[in-house]
């Protein structure tokens, strides 16, 4: 199996690189305002069309953790891991209908700004620092490391060189501001989807040929025949994968918290829509929801195909490290089967996914640091040109830090996608509770918000280690715990992390309610946001599109239950 790139592959990749770089340069110089106006630099205010917003949302979201981590989970768990993508499509509709109108009506451009406007400066500053640490130490590093790991496996180039190349490429795009990111993301998504579909076709065709047929349809049919257990969206309690995706919780439980926090309360994501008017923002988010429906075809089906091929004698050495099967090697192994030229296209697709995510994350880091820390606490009198300069320095510093610390975080020790989801889940429930009540209940107080963030994090830790103190067998009968073998060989009834998020969220909401009611009686007057029913009215076109997305989701879950 060839793990190097040919001359044709490099030619295809260079063409991709030149298209992105040239288009980005043209966008940057098309409107000189971007170089001096902070809102234009950070938000591309009024400049992004609906299709640019939708494409940028997906380009920023889909990265190495999907291509590598989710394909690996497709190999191990099957189609059920697609619930992260398909439930995200439903979540995007909720965000477009209920969250975005609140942000735009109240002229909110950053998440810390929302917290300052709704609660107070203390809550906003605590969360601004927290988000910076989370984005740099967890998100930026994991995207960079996993992406470099995959590209190194495909190209044969050293891991360090791949990390430096990805960081530099992302910096070039990011320094142009959100407008350049948004419009170059359209090209990134094109390469991402085209290259991803080529890989899916190859994988399915290879399966078909192994069983004496040809083509994607025959390959898919063979997958459903030879890996029937990999085509169930809802795991039963006796499934070995229940701890990762606990039954109906992916439909009516903690999965909603995962997605609503990510898509609705995340600077990295919502920033794409905050510079647009409501109609444009909603249409862009709807477009992203449609693209989300397609993602499992690109990132999950190849993993299932690799599983079937592995079961039939393929990749026996390539899928193992020191004699142990490594599921996250599934996608790179498939890419190494691509013929010359097409491999370069797939290489470009993977690079596009990683670079777009890095650029989006770096821009969000720069936005929060510049507007919510530097502007408010360090240089309140800074002019627009100075803010843009500081934002660019923040991009450079964050990327350098990511390159330096990523190799030492043990990101590759666990399946990449689940690793990110679980550890982000330590903070998601409290943050989402704080945002949700802050949006829609005007009596919510600042101390209640602090309880949700700090208390939610502590509760998540307690629920994580609780099985070591208490026998949770009694929860097993209700479907909220499962007997799991630990690294030391002991058996514990562990609570699935998705269910843990659900429990912590409910406790956080209850705690916020009690604290707020108590403080209201003491005379505390919270700062509510401007919210009225007219904000949530839908345009006919959006309503039709939302119904189509919902209908497709119902059909998918009915078909693959």
Q: At 64, which CATH number? A: 1.20.1730.10
Residue 44 lies in a domain: no
CA–CA gap between residue 59 and residue 195 (Å, rounded):
13
407, 370: one domain = yes
Q: 3-state DSSP call for residue 483?
A: strand
Output b/e per residue, 444-468; b: 16+ Cβ within 10 A. bbbbbbbbbbebbbebbeebbebbe
Number of H helices, E strands in the chain: 28, 4
pLDDT (tens digit, 9 = 90+) per residue, 372-399? 888 888 888 888 788 888 888 888 998 9
Largest CA distance in the chain: 76
Residue 42 lies in a domain: no
352, 461: one domain = no
Closest CA to 60 of 302, 331, 285, 293: 285
405, 521: one domain = no
480, 548: one domain = no
User: Could you tell me the pTM of the whole model?
Assistant: 0.82
CA–CA gap between residue 470 and residue 487 (Å, rounded):
18
Q: 3-state DSSP call for residue 506?
A: helix
395, 464: one domain = no
398, 440: one domain = no
CA–CA gap between residue 296 and residue 183 (Å, rounded):
24
337, 210: one domain = yes
- pLDDT reported for residue 476: 67
Helix (H) or strand (E) holding 320: strand 320-321
Residue 92 lies in a domain: yes
273, 216: one domain = yes
Residue 17 lies in a domain: no
Closest CA to 355 of 92, 11, 88, 17: 17
CA–CA gap between residue 28 and residue 40 (Å, rounded):
11
CA–CA gap between residue 205 and residue 306 (Å, rounded):
12
- According to DSSP, the β-strands at 320-321 and 324-325 are antiparallel
In the chain, how many domains are there?
Answer: 2
pLDDT averaged over 10-residue windows placed end to end, the chain, 561 residues: 73 82 71 53 62 80 75 88 92 92 83 84 84 82 81 80 88 70 70 80 88 85 89 85 82 86 78 78 92 90 89 79 75 79 78 79 84 83 82 88 82 58 79 89 90 89 79 67 65 79 92 93 81 85 94 93 86
Contact 501, 258 (CB under 8 A): yes
- pLDDT reported for residue 39: 58
pLDDT (tens digit, 9 = 90+) per residue, 222-271? 999 988 889 999 988 878 788 788 888 888 888 898 889 888 887 766 76
509, 376: one domain = no
118, 211: one domain = yes
Residue 310 lies in a domain: yes
Residue 416 lies in a domain: no
Phi, psi of 515, deg, nearest 5: -60, -45
Give residue for tokens 């307690």: 462
CA–CA gap between residue 449 and residue 512 (Å, rounded):
7
Domain assignment of residue 250, given as a range = 49-411+532-559
404, 484: one domain = no
Residue 13 lies in a domain: no
Phi, psi of 491, deg, nearest 5: -110, 125
- pLDDT reported for residue 135: 82
397, 442: one domain = no
How high does pLDDT run on average in the chain? 81
- pLDDT reported for residue 34: 46
- pLDDT reported for residue 347: 77
Contact 138, 60 (CB under 8 A): no
Residue 282 lies in a domain: yes
Phi, psi of 447, deg, nearest 5: -65, -35
């Amino acid at each position: 199996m060839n793990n190097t790139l040919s001359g044709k592959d490099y030619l295809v990749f260079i063409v991709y690189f030149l298209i992105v770089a040239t288009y980005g340069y043209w966008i940057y110089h098309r409107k000189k305002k971007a170089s001096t106006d902070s809102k234009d630099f950070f938000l591309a205010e009024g400049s992004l069309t609906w299709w640019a917003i939708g494409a940028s949302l997906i380009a920023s979201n889909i990265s190495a953790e999907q291509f590598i981590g989710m394909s690996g989970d497709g190999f191990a768990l099957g189609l059920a891991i697609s619930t992260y993508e398909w439930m995200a499509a439903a979540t995007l509709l909720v965000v477009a209908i209920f969250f975005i109108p609140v942000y735009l009506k109240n002229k909110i451009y950053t998440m810390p700004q929302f917290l300052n406007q709704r609660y107070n400066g203390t809550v906003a500053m605590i969360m601004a620092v927290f988000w910076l640490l989370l984005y740099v130490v967890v998100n930026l590093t994991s995207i960079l490391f996993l992406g470099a790991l995959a590209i190194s496996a495909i190209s044969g180039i050293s891991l360090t060189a791949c990390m430096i190349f990805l960081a530099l490429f992302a910096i070039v795009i990011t320094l142009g501001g959100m407008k350049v990111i948004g419009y170059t993301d359209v090209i990134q998504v094109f390469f991402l989807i085209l290259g991803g579909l080529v890989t899916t076709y190859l994988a399915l065709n290879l399966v078909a040929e192994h069983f004496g047929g040809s083509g994607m349809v025959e390959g898919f049919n063979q997958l459903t025949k030879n890996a029937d257990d990999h085509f169930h969206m809802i795991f039963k309690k006796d499934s070995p994968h229940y701890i990762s995706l606990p039954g109906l919780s992916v439909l009516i439980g903690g999965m909603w918290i995962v997605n609503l926090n990510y898509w609705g309360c995340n600077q990295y994501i919502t920033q794409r829509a905050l510079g647009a008017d409501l109609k444009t923002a909603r249409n862009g988010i709807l477009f992203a929801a449609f693209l989300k429906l397609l993602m499992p075809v690109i990132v999950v089906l190849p993993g299932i195909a690799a599983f079937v091929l592995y079961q039939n004698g393929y990749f026996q050495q390539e899928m193992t490290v020191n004699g142990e099967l490594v599921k996250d090697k599934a996608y790179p192994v498939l890419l190494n089967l691509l013929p010359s030229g097409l491999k370069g296209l797939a290489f470009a697709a993977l690079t596009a996914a990683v670079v777009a995510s890095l650029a989006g994350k770096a821009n969000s880091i720069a936005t929060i640091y510049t507007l919510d820390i530097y502007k408010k606490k360090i240089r309140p009198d800074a002019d627009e040109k100075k803010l843009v300069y500081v934002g660019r320095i923040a991009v450079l510093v964050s990327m350098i830090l990511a390159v330096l610390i990523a190799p030492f975080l043990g990101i590759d020790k666990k399946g990449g996608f689940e690793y990110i989801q679980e550890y982000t889940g330590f903070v998601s429930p409290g943050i989402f509770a704080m945002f949700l009540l802050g949006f829609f209940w005007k009596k919510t107080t600042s101390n209640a918000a602090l309880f949700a963030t700090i208390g939610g994090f502590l509760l998540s830790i307690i629920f994580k280690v609780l099985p070591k103190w208490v026998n949770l067998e009694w929860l097993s009968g209700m479907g909220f715990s499962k007997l799991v073998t630990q690294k030391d060989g002991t058996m514990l009834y562990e609570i699935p992390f998705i269910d843990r998020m659900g429990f912590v969220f409910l406790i956080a909401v209850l705690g916020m309610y009690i604290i707020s009611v108590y403080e209201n009686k003491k005379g505390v007057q919270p700062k509510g946001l401007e919210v009225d029913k007219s904000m949530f009215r839908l345009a006919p076109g959006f309503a039709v599109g939302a119904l189509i997305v919902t209908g497709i989701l119902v059909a998918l879950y009915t078909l693959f239950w």
